[in-house]
Structure 1
Amino acid sequence: MQRLQNKIAIITGGARGMGARTSRLFIEEGATLVIADVLEEEGQALADELGPRASFQRLDVSDEANWQRLVDDTLARHGRIDVLVNNAAVLTFGAIGALPRETFERVLAVNLTGTFLGISAVTPIMCRQGAGSIVNISSVDGLRGVNALAAYAASKWGIRGLTKVAALELGLHGVRVNSVHPGGVDTLMSNPGGAPRESLADQYRMVPLQRIGAPEEIARATLFLASDEASYCNGSELAVDGGMSAGFYYEGLPGSPTAPVSWDANHEQGDQRHG
């Protein structure tokens, strides 16, 4: 079954990482796809590889005129826009007291303002169509706080809130807006050194599933929300994080990575306390 058959889709940041894997999956599922990115060589090469249903257009998501050009061109070529995936993002590290304002504002410009501009650009089109799906890629860091990521976390929390507002307003017109919240994912952003996936396990030992995520796992979640299979999902937030956002461990107590419970045939539950 091709879940995006006859759908016209745009993926921002679609040339690399999670975006590229999502681009591949959308083509496999029957979509006609516009890959939008600032990475011109990589984006065009991917579009060429994916075949005649894929095209590339340069897009700086923080530039409103860029968005208008993308939307106008897509409508001229295809007549409609069914799916928008707001995936483009940048990541910077730095303690709050040492983070330059320019850096903070640049992260928000790409991650949050870029998402806002994307929603704004397709809203009139999708509302006139009476149908559409917008999937905003937030982060597990849009569900919690994390040190050294003030700008990134603020932008991803903002995407989460923006998704809720858009779901309320656009849902009245048959347009669904949802967010995906990836945890650590094996891409250039999270694994810039290109270390083998299995060697990263120790860095993710406090994740319940004990590993880093794969780009295709995020792509499949995005596909679900983009497709008609999620026809009653609106304003939802889908965490694809191995359980990272479920809570935290008290190290040393039973059931934590440092004190795992054995479930062999001789297991007996102990240390029961009543208060």
Structure 2
Amino acid sequence: MAGRLSGKRIIITGAIGNIGKEAARGFIAEGARVVIGDIAEEAGRAVASELGEAAHFVQVDVTSEASVANLIARGVEWLGGLDALAQNAGLQRSGAIDGFEQANWDALFAVNARAHFFGAKHAIPHLQRSGKGSIINMSSLAGKRGGPGLVAYSASKGAVIAFTTALALELAPDNIRVNAICPGWVDTAFNQPAIDFMGGADAQQKKIASLVPLGRQASATEIAPLFVYLASDESAYVTAQSFGIDGGVYNG
């Protein structure tokens, strides 16, 4: 059904990567206006230009509360309000725990976990004014099921799942829904650190063939429709959920 997001006003972070860009494209295709935030200004403006007049770029460093507050404030000003916040910005670092540096651990939690707190904190008053809303957090299969070399990354993504559940219960009286998306292997450069840790692309493909029941990676276009669904009124009774899109890996 076309126009599923007609009139919706959405802010999305991490919008220059494969998944974020496709999510933003999906929002706009269904009638939304979208503010995209990313730390990479030149690439972000290029994505906004590519997406057309329904998109607007605001530079943001999600590790800074002041920067996130600025994104929300400027985004709401351009949009005229807020109906959904999609927190897609993320960071990948891999390595065995005995040699893992604290700086990398802290960076993972700053981008993958703490940034969700900043975004929600500053978006919630605007969603409350709208009378309802949706917060979509990006977690990962790793947040449900970790693996060698992914201890720190898994911990940061697991924090997002716990945050999502608790926040959804807190905001339910305001009719603000909070859900998480948990992709498995997706064909994107974001996963390169994990691929390197595994020993390269050939080793990755062997791992995927043995681990993923569907036998392949997802494309970003297979993740984006869930963003659209969770931002739409079709998911009005859906909250506190962590949705796996992982080819059948996690079935617990």
TM range (shorter): over 0.9
Q: What do residues 166-187 of structure 1 show as CA deviations (whole Å, max 9, x unaligned)? A: 1001111010000110000001
Show the counterpart of 2:198: none
Between the two structures, name the one with larger relative contact order (CA 8 Å, sep ≥ 6): 2
Q: What do residues 143-181 of structure 1 show as CA deviations (whole Å, max 9, x unaligned)? A: 112111122101100000000111001111010000110
Q: Find out whether 1:12 has 2:13 as its counterpart.
A: yes
Q: Find out whether 1:203 has 2:217 as its counterpart.
A: no
Any runs of at least 4 consecutive aligned residues in structure 1 with deviations exceeding 6 A, and if so which?
none
Q: Percent of pairs identical after alignment?
A: 39
Matches of 1:57 and 1:73, distance apart in 2 = 8
Q: What do residues 231-271 of structure 1 show as CA deviations (whole Å, max 9, x unaligned)? A: 10010111000011126xxxxxxxxxxxxxxxxxxxxxxxx
Q: What do residues 183-229 of structure 1 show as CA deviations (whole Å, max 9, x unaligned)? A: 00001112589xxx9x9753311200000011011101121111111
Q: Find out whether 1:244 has 2:249 as its counterpart.
A: yes
Show the counterpart of 2:173: 172
Show the counterpart of 2:50: 49
Matches of 1:168 and 1:32, distance apart in 2 = 28
TM-score normalised according to structure 2 size: 0.92
Show the counterpart of 1:262: none
Q: What do residues 128-152 of structure 1 show as CA deviations (whole Å, max 9, x unaligned)? A: 3221100101000111121111221
- Structure 1 gap segments, 5+ residues each: 248-275
* Aligned 8 A contact 1:221 1:240 in 2: no
Matches of 1:106 and 1:169, distance apart in 2 = 27
* Aligned 8 A contact 2:69 2:119 in 1: no
Show the counterpart of 1:269: none
Matches of 1:190 and 1:91, distance apart in 2 = 7
The amino acid of 1:202's aligned partner reads K
Matches of 1:121 and 1:184, distance apart in 2 = 31
Q: Find out whether 1:215 has 2:220 as its counterpart.
A: yes
Which structure's residues are more often helix, by fraction?
Answer: 2
When Rg is computed on C-alpha atoms for both structures, the one with the higher figure is 1
The amino acid of 1:189's aligned partner reads F
Secondary structure of the 1:161 match is: helix
Matches of 1:178 and 1:68, distance apart in 2 = 21
Matches of 1:200 and 1:228, distance apart in 2 = 38
- Structure 2 gap segments, 5+ residues each: 196-200
Matches of 1:202 and 1:184, distance apart in 2 = 13
Secondary structure of the 2:61 match is: coil
Secondary structure of the 1:133 match is: strand
